[in-house]
Amino acid sequence: MVEDKTFNILKHRLVPEHILLTAEEIKELTDRLNIRVSQLPKIYTTDATVKAMEGDVGDVVKITRPSPTAGKTVYYRIVVKKTRKK
């Protein structure tokens, strides 16, 4: 019997829920917050969770974290390519 050695970081107990938004959900988010997508905080394509979700530049990730005071807190990040420092 061969044991599966792959590890899914998205299922780790210390990694909060990460979901890629659809184009419609991104439009609703930007309209609700009255912002442009480019104004969202960034997450790099090299991030392990982005790789696991097969995210690409321009995707928006919804991150839901547990909060001791609010119950849960939702964050949004836009996926960007990491540029090299000169």
Classify domain 15-80 at the CATH class level.
Answer: alpha beta
Q: What is the pLDDT of residue 1?
A: 54
The strand ranges marked E within 1-86 are: 17-20, 42-44, 60-67, 71-80
Q: What is the pLDDT of residue 82?
A: 86
Q: How confident is the model at residue 2 (pLDDT cuts 50, 70, 90)?
A: low
Measured from the Cβ of residue 40, the count of other Cβ atoms closer than 10 Å reads 20
Q: Is the pLDDT of residue 63 over 80?
A: yes
Alpha helix segments (H runs only) across 22-76: 23-33, 48-53
Bridge partners of 65, per DSSP, are 73
Task: Give mean pLDDT, residues 1-18.
Answer: 81
CA angle 60, 66, 70 (to 5 degrees): 105
Residue 77 and residue 45: Cα distance in Å, rounded? 11
Q: What is the pLDDT of residue 19?
A: 96
User: In the numeric block, which tokens belong to residue 40?
Assistant: 């969202």
In the chain, where the domains are located: 15-80
Instruction: Tell me the whole-structure pTM to 2 decimals.
Output: 0.85
Reported as a single tens digit per residue, the pLDDT across 11-56 is 899 999 999 999 999 999 999 999 999 999 999 999 999 999 999 9
